[in-house]
Amino acid sequence: MDATDDIEKVWSDNGIDERIPHFYLPGGLRYDRMPWGEKLLMKTFATMMSKRPEMKEIEASTGISLKKSYSLFDPIYAKPLIEHILSNSKASS
């Protein structure tokens, strides 16, 4: 099952007839931009996730990935959204 199948399933499960454009825009985690309270909560959660004795592999990797800032953004993901916006702005002009 690919992303298109997932979208079709969501539409059918929720009775959506109109096709709404979907865009995948991964983000990341920026501790340097978080207020101190949120940063503290995230660091505490990451520590708890990485130290649970009964944790599964996915939980361990979640704890490890939350310990530091990272970015998943790549301009290639923005291209379909930009093209959609530009094509709709030309059509409405």
29 in the Ramachandran plot: left (φ > 0), alpha (ψ -120 to 50) or beta? beta
Tell me phi and psi for residue 27, to 5 degrees.
-110, -115
Strand-pairing partners, residue 28, are 71
Residue 16 binned pLDDT confidence (cut-offs 50, 70, 90): confident
Q: What is the mean pLDDT of residues 50-70?
A: 70
pLDDT in tens, 26-39: 888 888 898 999 99
CA–CA separation, 62 and 50 (whole Å): 8
CA–CA separation, 18 and 77 (whole Å): 24
**Contact, 23 vs 61, CB < 8 A?**
no
Is the pLDDT reported for residue 63 higher than 60? Answer: yes
Q: What is the mean pLDDT of residues 64-91?
A: 85
